[in-house]
Amino acid sequence: MSDAPYDAVLLDLDGTVYHGSQVIDGAADAVATVRKQGTAVRFVTNNASKAPSAVAQHLRDLGLAAETDEVHTSAQAAAALLRDRLPQGARVLVVGTASLGDEIVAVGLEPVRTADDTVSAVVQGHSPETGWADLAEASVAIRAGARWVATNVDTTLPSERGLLPGNGSMVGALRIATGAEPIVAGKPQPLLFETAARAANADRPLVVGDRLDTDIAGAVAAGLDVLCVLTGVATPHTILTAGKAERPTHLSADITALSEAVDELRVGPRPGWEIGEGDVLTVRGEGDRLDLLRALCDAAWRTGVTRVRADGDAAEAAVTGLGLA
């Protein structure tokens, strides 16, 4: 991230740094390079299934230097939100892992697993063990008037096997069962990014993530620049057609781009490519494929035109390679 005006990097994890138990190639070296340049690093994840200490240990197991206080999770954000809205000692029904319950304890609230008339709120985070019985207890509490907070609403969770059901899918089941809508604590709400930036004493952090509807939307909501990588959920097509609230300022294939000059990653006109504007975006020229995507996004977001046509063999190969043919 040479010649960058950023004083911290706020990194998403699933789909950005790793897929489950598999680190993304070059991620450890990229993060180490950022640290050597004197830039603060924070890990900001919507996954509420692990305690910050466990997340930091997982990162170290994958070869990345990480301390517990560098990790910011949606479980922490949800607990903080409930702390600010409930009296001390209030009972909160937990749908999620034991570590989510620990975060509830840490803010002076009492976690429970069974619905009754003493439950003031429901907090729901991802857990691979969540089943029908857990959702049934939450449904009873929500229907009785308990405040409902979801750590996040990611519908999918990147893994080494591909996309798996995320917390948002389970939240969707409760939406249907109760007709209620949760308060969302994690991304795309800006709280996680704001908290991480403050912890890093950063005035101008750069967010790095792979999901338009959470990482990028959360950064946009927080007024921060954001680098979207293509190792997780986002694709060239979804980025090109993204709405204003989900448009990144920078694009790269993966996190290793952090070792490059950051201005080279910014969405905008790029050398070698000419984009003709009209009823269709006409691509002419040749050059780096990701540079073409940066130039196409610039044109599409300004004009509202997202259909793409290639003029010439080199342009055809690049457009096809991006999956935009």
Query: Which of 259, 247, 254 minimizes the C-alpha distance to 297?
Result: 247
pLDDT for residue 160 = 81
The one catalytic residue among 3, 12, 116, 313: 12
User: What is the rounded distance in angstroms from the CA atom of residue 284 to the CA atom of residue 63?
Assistant: 42
Q: 3 pLDDT exceeds 90?
A: no
Query: Which of 214, 210, 206, 209 minimizes the C-alpha distance to 77?
Result: 214
Phi first, then psi: give them for residue 126, nearest 5 degrees.
-65, 135
pLDDT tens for 101-114 read 999 999 999 999 99
Q: How confident is the model at residue 20 (pLDDT cuts 50, 70, 90)?
A: confident
Indicate the CATH number for domain 8-46+188-265.
3.40.50.1000
Q: Reduced to 3 states, what is the DSSP secondary structure of residue 285?
A: strand
* C-alpha distances in Å from residue 164, one per residue of 44, 128, 129, 144, 279: 20, 10, 14, 31, 37
pLDDT for residue 159 = 82
Q: What percent of the chain stands above pLDDT 70? A: 99
Cβ neighbour number for residue 234 with a 10 Å cutoff: 23
Judge whether 8-46+188-265 and 75-184 match in fold.
Answer: yes
The model carries a pTM of 0.90
* Weakest mean pLDDT among 160-164, 222-226, 279-283: 160-164
Give catalytic status of residue 12 as yes or no: yes
Q: 138 pLDDT exceeds 70?
A: yes
Q: 178 pLDDT exceeds 80?
A: yes
pLDDT for residue 158 = 79
Phi first, then psi: give them for residue 81, nearest 5 degrees.
-60, -45
Contact 96, 125 (CB under 8 A): yes
Mean per-residue pLDDT, 9-15? 96
- Partners of residue 207 on adjacent β-strands: 10, 226
In the chain, where does DSSP find H-type helix? Answer: 27-36, 52-61, 74-85, 98-106, 132-143, 167-178, 191-199, 217-222, 236-240, 289-303, 313-321
Burial 85-103 (b: 16+ CB within 10 A, else e): ebeeebbbbbbbbebbbeb
Q: 162 pLDDT exceeds 70?
A: yes
User: What is the rounded distance in angstroms from the CA atom of residue 133 to the CA atom of residue 118?
Assistant: 19
Query: Which of 187, 48, 44 minimizes the C-alpha distance to 124?
Result: 48
Give the domain ranges of the chain: 8-46+188-265, 75-184, 273-321
Non-local CB neighbours of 243 within 8 Å, separated by 6+ positions: none
Contact 314, 286 (CB under 8 A): yes
Cβ neighbour number for residue 54 with a 10 Å cutoff: 15
The one catalytic residue among 3, 7, 14, 213: 14
Q: 4 pLDDT exceeds 70?
A: no
10 Å CB burial of residue 5 (0-12, 13-18, 19+) is: exposed
pLDDT tens for 44-101 read 999 999 999 999 999 999 999 999 999 999 999 999 999 999 999 999 999 999 999 9
Q: 1 pLDDT exceeds 70?
A: no
Q: Which CATH class is domain 75-184?
A: alpha beta
Q: What integer best gives the mean pLDDT of the chain?
A: 96
pLDDT for residue 157 = 85
User: What is the rounded distance in angstroms from the CA atom of residue 158 to the CA atom of residue 195?
Assistant: 24
